[in-house]
Amino acid sequence: MPGNQSDTLSGPVEPVCFPPGLHNAYLFSTFNAFSYQVVLNSPMVLYAKTLGASATVLGIIAGMMPLLVIFQIPAASHIPRLGFRRFVYAGWGTRVMFIFGMALVPLAGGFLQAKTLLALMLALLFCFNLSRGISSCAWLPWITTLVPPGLRGKYLARDAGVQNLASFVTFLIAAACLAGPTRPWQFAILFAFSAAMGAVSLSFLKRIPDPEIPREIRASKGPVPWLAMLNHPPFRTLLITLVAFSVAYGGMTAFTVAFLKTQAGMSECKVLLVTSVAFLGGLCSLWFLGLHLDRLGSKPVLAFCFSAWVAVLAGWMFLSGGLLQAELPLLLVLQFLMGLLAALIQMSITRLAMAVIPVLGRNHFFALYSVIGNVTLGLAPIGWGLLIDAVGARNPVWLGLAWNRYTVFFAATSLAFLCTLVCARRLDEPEAAGLEELLREILIQSPQRFWLRFWPRGGM
pLDDT in tens, the chain (460 residues): 444 443 333 444 445 687 888 899 999 999 999 999 899 888 898 899 889 888 888 888 888 888 888 888 888 788 888 888 999 999 899 999 999 999 999 999 888 899 999 999 999 999 999 998 888 888 888 888 888 887 887 888 888 889 989 999 998 999 888 887 888 899 999 999 999 999 999 999 999 998 877 665 555 555 667 788 888 888 899 999 999 999 999 888 888 888 888 888 888 888 888 988 988 888 887 776 655 666 777 788 888 899 999 999 999 999 998 888 888 899 999 999 999 999 889 888 988 888 888 877 777 888 888 889 888 888 888 888 889 889 888 888 888 888 998 999 999 999 999 999 999 888 877 665 555 555 565 555 555 444 444 344 444 3
What local confidence, expressed as pLDDT, does residue 220 receive? 52
- Phi-psi category of 343—alpha, beta or left, where left has phi over 0 and alpha has psi -120 to 50? alpha
Whole-angstrom CA distances from 429 to 4, 31, 77, 152 are: 36, 34, 29, 15
Using an 8 Å Cβ cutoff, are 107 and 188 in contact?
yes
What local confidence, expressed as pLDDT, does residue 450 receive? 44
Cα end-to-end span (Å), the chain: 51
- Supply the pTM of this predicted model: 0.74
Handedness of CA 171, 246, 324, 259 (dihedral sign): positive
Distance separating alpha carbons of residues 320 and 174, to the nearest angstrom? 26
* CA 421 centroid distance within chain: 19
Distance separating alpha carbons of residues 112 and 117, to the nearest angstrom? 7
What is the domain partition of the chain in residue ranges?
21-451
> What phi and psi, each to the nearest 5 degrees, are found at residue 397?
-105, 130
- Which residues face 401 on adjacent strands? 398
What local confidence, expressed as pLDDT, does residue 100 receive? 95
CATH number of 21-451: 1.20.1250.20
